[in-house]
Amino acid sequence: MTADTAGLHDIPRLVSELSLEEKASLCSGADFWHTQAIEELGIPAVMVTDGPHGLRKQVGSTDHLGLHQSVPATCFPSAAGLGSSWDRDLLRRIGEALGAEARANEVAVLLGPGVNMKRTPLCGRNFEYFSEDPYLAGELAAPLVDGVQSHGVGTSLKHFAANNQESDRMRVSADVDERTLREIYLPAFEKVITRSRPWTVMCAYNKINSTYASQDPWLLTEVLREEWGFDGLVVSDWGAVDNRVAGLVAGLDLEMPSSLGVNDARIAEAVRAGELDEAVLDRAVTRVLTLIARSRAAMADPGSFDADVHHALAHEAATRTAVLLKNEGVLPLDASTLTGDIAIIGEMARTPRYQGAGSSQVNPTRLVSALDALTNHGLDLPFAPGYRLSEAAGADGQDRTDAELRDEAVERATGKTAVLFLGLPALDESEGYDREHLDLPRSHRDLLASVAEVASRTVVVLANGSVVTTVEWEHAADAILELWLGGQATGSAAVELLLGAAAPSGRLAESIPERIEDVPAQLNFPGENQIVRYGEGLYIGYRGLDATRVPVSYPFGHGLTYTTFEYSDLEIDTTAVTDETDEDDILVVVGATVSNTGGRDGVAVPQLYVGRPGSAVARPPRELRGFERVELSPGRSQRMEFVLTRRDLSHWDVATHSWVVEPGALELSVGASSRDLPLSTTVEFEAPMNRAPLTAYSTIGEWMENPEAGPALIQAMGDSGKMLGPNSPDPAIAAFFMSMPVVKAPLLGIGDTFTPDDLEALLKRFGRS
């Protein structure tokens, strides 16, 4: 720390020396990317900038839409790809590289990662998010944050919360019930915050249940700080502030970018008018100054990074994020017979689609196409573009088949193994708007159909940031390799995977449905009248698709490689829950063995799913609660152990607003995807019964479930009581009464002489009147 920033050593004193106007000015940006400086008091400005999979530091004109040029930086696969790696160690190493690049560029906070859920595959920004599953997203984002922050620069976990669509994103209210928020939309944030302590959290644009995230005290203070212990700074998404003073009170510390002084004046005015407690302002200012102080060491010693080493990491990442969806004996391609036998088709082999549009857009240090990579391997293969990219200047839209290009491709592919590079045009998916469909462009599908007719074998290589449906055309492909948006080394990774120099090891972090109509969330998407109701509740992704049992093209967790695996020897060890059991106490240990039964090295990704059949609350059939990434040579096996804590086994109880673990059947399954679970068993799990207190409005059935209150009610009801319960001579009558609130019984003359006073007496003994 230099002498002129020494004041940052004693932040309380510094705050006490600032004028009201100075304090208000620190609560918003100085410009697009910098915090406000107050030079005379030794408060420097710091830079915060995107983004999640590469640095986007603009040097000239600024914007948050990715329009203006930024400094060269390594472009790693976007989160859709990184999510498919299921590789915690890789995420940590990418985080370290991002941290080094941010630091070398004197950027104090990198704006990412984004851990919003892929509620529907139509979200235009899904390429920037990890998964449809909160467990997986949290497990992968946490090491990324650790890696970045290990360099003394911060991260900004975004977009907090329930920002799951781009349509109307700046004002839509995501109306989500409490349990769904707690179990689906908040856990990835919670895990990263409690485990990796990101320096900042970025609040979302949207409202949640009618309140803007940027001014929601429940979200920004109660949950984030009081429950999860977050001690960093909350920054607004760019332009997410509605009422600045309300935001400050709720816990929003820093508004970005600058509001051109408008909101600073409002803050000062509110304090003067006695409408805002100055202590609230001081709290936000303290957090801004703490962030600046925290970054001083790194900013004073930026260091450098090796672009070649980071490019090599981007290449490794791209090989690990690709998912082999299908392979009917065609991959890996046989390099020895290659030259005469193969044709490369598709403009994306020459002009790769490797990142998404919007604020995360990186200016890559280099870019390798598949054609470049083949040339680097000494393979000069016949190529035909097959279609035009709509983003190329003056080109027709990609939906229109160019007959000349198609015919040329067909000629090249005839009798050969055709490797087709297909994917989504950049315009089809972007920050700022949602997708309209899940299809590949018509021209790509037509090209595939024509080429597959004449080619001896057909391999499809896909580049897209969110899923495309495959059901219409996959019969024409002998193999499908999904690259996602693989970053700047996507081409070299694709070639290594195709040639077998690397084996695919990615697994789907999002389901590939057959049709968008199969996705339950579609019934309420993208909403209307500025409201989107999350009516599907917990049932997003595989949770919904598995519950409705619709066929899917490829399930969550799926991914092939060049060898095969077998799972065996499932062993379960459980410990009963007592009143003393803590959230983090381990209650279940699941052991299983995975073996490489094929002929090549490969990576298995064993997954543990938990189901609660017979639960008293709605439950998806199964939920991911553990995974490992295991590298195995042929013939080798490895024993794995998954542990489940009390929290892992709990659901959010809306009556008590807390995590509750139920007794009863616990289904534990281990395997290769949510729909390929060769090991599965159900055990009885012991835990105290969480019964709601009995009231007059509890049903007769609920009274019956209570081992003391049930018999007492039967007795109080005399002869009619004998008709109730498990020993009733008439089960239909017994069932009829089960759902009747007990308060109705004396009024309807049910239970002979059972009177309101009798009920009162029972309530005194067993319940709450």
| Active-site annotation, residues | 237
Tokens 């959230």, located at residue: 583
| Rounded Cα gap, residues 762 and 765, in angstroms | 5
CA angle 212, 215, 217 (to 5 degrees): 115
Nearer to ligand BGC by Cβ, of 169 and 315: the residue is: 169
Contact call for residues 206 and 174 (beta carbons, < 8 A): yes
Which listed residue (24, 47, 111, 148) binds ligand BGC by CB under 6 A?
Answer: 111
Which listed residue (50, 255, 429, 482) binds ligand BGC by CB under 6 A?
Answer: 50
Least distance to ligand BGC, CB of residue 262, Å: 19
Nearer to ligand BGC by Cβ, of 113 and 611: the residue is: 113
Which listed residue (139, 166, 237, 478) binds ligand BGC by CB under 6 A?
Answer: 237
22 near ligand BGC, judged by CB under 6 A: no
Least distance to ligand BGC, CB of residue 54, Å: 13
Question: Any bridge partners for residue 254, and if so which?
Answer: 235
**Residues 590-649, interacting with ligand BGC (CB under 6 A):** none
Nearer to ligand BGC by Cβ, of 98 and 405: the residue is: 98
CA dihedral (575, 578, 584, 588) in degrees, to 10, reads 20
Least distance to ligand BGC, CB of residue 273, Å: 32
Nearer to ligand BGC by Cβ, of 127 and 609: the residue is: 127
Contact call for residues 563 and 602 (beta carbons, < 8 A): yes
Nearer to ligand BGC by Cβ, of 114 and 423: the residue is: 114
Least distance to ligand BGC, CB of residue 219, Å: 17
Least distance to ligand BGC, CB of residue 487, Å: 18
64 near ligand BGC, judged by CB under 6 A: yes
| Rounded Cα gap, residues 83 and 616, in angstroms | 32
Least distance to ligand BGC, CB of residue 48, Å: 8
The residue among 213, 202, 276 whose CA lies nearest residue 24 is 276
State the number of binding residues for ligand BGC (CB under 6 A): 7
58 near ligand BGC, judged by CB under 6 A: no
| Rounded Cα gap, residues 121 and 124, in angstroms | 8
User: Phi, psi at residue 443, to the nearest 5°?
Assistant: -65, -35
Contact call for residues 310 and 97 (beta carbons, < 8 A): yes
* 3-state DSSP assignment of residue 20: helix
Least distance to ligand BGC, CB of residue 187, Å: 20
The residue among 539, 690, 551 whose CA lies nearest residue 623 is 539
| Rounded Cα gap, residues 348 and 333, in angstroms | 19
| Rounded Cα gap, residues 734 and 727, in angstroms | 9
Nearer to ligand BGC by Cβ, of 174 and 447: the residue is: 174
Residue 396 DSSP label: P
Least distance to ligand BGC, CB of residue 212, Å: 14
Using only C-alpha atoms, the chain has a radius of gyration, in whole angstroms, of: 29
Contact call for residues 510 and 121 (beta carbons, < 8 A): yes
Alpha helices for 392-489 (secondary structure H): 403-413, 442-454
Kindly write out the interface string for residues 347-386 of this chain, putting x where it contacts ligand BGC by CB under 6 A and - elsewhere: ------------x---------------------------
Nearer to ligand BGC by Cβ, of 215 and 674: the residue is: 215
Nearer to ligand BGC by Cβ, of 112 and 513: the residue is: 112
The tokens of 149 are what? 């922050």
The tokens of 588 are what? 């279940």
Which listed residue (160, 185, 230, 238) binds ligand BGC by CB under 6 A?
Answer: 238
CA dihedral (580, 585, 587, 592) in degrees, to 10, reads -170
Question: Any bridge partners for residue 342, and if so which?
Answer: 417
Least distance to ligand BGC, CB of residue 83, Å: 17
Strand order in the sheet with 48-49: 48-49, 109-110, 154-160, 200-203, 233-236
Nearer to ligand BGC by Cβ, of 125 and 675: the residue is: 125
What distance lies between CA 265 and its chain's CA centroid? 37
Least distance to ligand BGC, CB of residue 102, Å: 13
| Rounded Cα gap, residues 35 and 480, in angstroms | 47
Kindly write out the interface string for residues 130-169 of this chain, putting x where it contacts ligand BGC by CB under 6 A and - elsewhere: ----------------------------x-----------
488 CB-near residues (< 8 Å, 6+ apart):
74, 75, 76, 311, 314, 354, 362, 364, 365, 366, 367, 368
- Other C-beta atoms closer than 10 Å to the C-beta of 64 total 20
Nearer to ligand BGC by Cβ, of 151 and 158: the residue is: 158
> Residues in the site for ligand BGC, rule: CB under 6 A?
50, 64, 111, 158, 237-238, 359
